Amino acid sequence: MTTDEGNDETIEAAVHDEAWFAAVFAAHATPLYRYFRRRLPSAAGSVGPDADDLTAEVLATAWRRREDVPDGAELPWLYRTAGFVLANHRRKARAVPVAEVPDRGDEGADVEHVVVQDDEVRRALGALSVRDRRILLLHAWEGLGGDDLAAVLGTSRGGADAALSRARARLRAAWAEQSALAQESGA
């Protein structure tokens, strides 16, 4: 091995050092936390330590596997890892505490409409496959599209665009079916 080769290896190894991790943490810890908050059941408006713990687990994995994290595509890699961490978390058979339900909700004229529409969205999403639901939520909640969505899904940009288009079409069909059933039962 020549000195130049040794220097190349040193430079390559230094790319993902503490400074790199600090930058990844600063840029992506909050989006990761929100990713988990949106997907974990809430108890009295709080997801407790789970979102914090799972975010820390993903970031610890990023540190341990820092050489595997692609430059410029850190967030898609982190989201993909977060999906695995969340799946493992859900496999654990743990009791979910039941939160105390308040006597009254927020005051407002549209509360009933919002609750009904929220329920309709949940039912329509629930009718989809896990993959379709994941694609739609990554796009809508996390703002991923194009190349980032493709990286999370482990497919090409065209494949991700096609998967998103198909998932949207299936969501529209499920929503229409839910609406038709609601009209029949309400008529």
The string of pLDDT tens digits covering residues 87-100 is 888 877 455 444 54
The β-bridge partners of 43 are: 46
Q: Which residues of 114-143 are buried (b: 16+ CB within 10 A; e: fewer)?
A: eeeeeeeeebbeebbeeebbbbbbbbeebe
Instruction: Supply the pLDDT for residue 177.
Output: 87
Model confidence at 111, in pLDDT bands (50, 70, 90)?
Answer: low
Over residues 62-72, the pLDDT tens digits come to: 999 988 899 88
Domain with CATH 1.10.10.10 in the chain: 109-187
Over residues 30-40, mean pLDDT:
92
pLDDT at 144 over 80: yes
Average pLDDT over residues 44-71: 84
Instruction: Tell me which DSSP letter residue 1 carries.
Output: -
Pairwise pLDDT comparison (74 vs 114), residue with the higher score: 74
CA separation for the pair 137, 125 (Å, rounded) = 10
Report, as an integer, the average pLDDT of 142-151.
87
Instruction: Please name the fold of domain 1-101.
Output: Rna Polymerase Sigma Factor; Chain: A (1.10.1740)
Determine the Cα–Cα distance for residues 3 and 105; give it in Å rounded to an integer: 69
Residue carrying structure tokens 């009933």: 112
Position 34 pLDDT exceeds 70: yes
> End-to-end alpha-carbon separation of the chain, Å?
81
Residue-by-residue DSSP string for 54-123: HHHHHHHHHHHTGGGSPTT-HHHHHHHHHHHHHHHHHHS--PPPPPPPPSS----TTHHHHHHHHHHHHH
Architecture category of domain 109-187 in CATH:
Orthogonal Bundle (1.10)
Residue 6, pLDDT score: 43
Contact criterion met (CB below 8 Å) for 142 and 31: yes
Residues of the chain with CATH 1.10.1740: 1-101
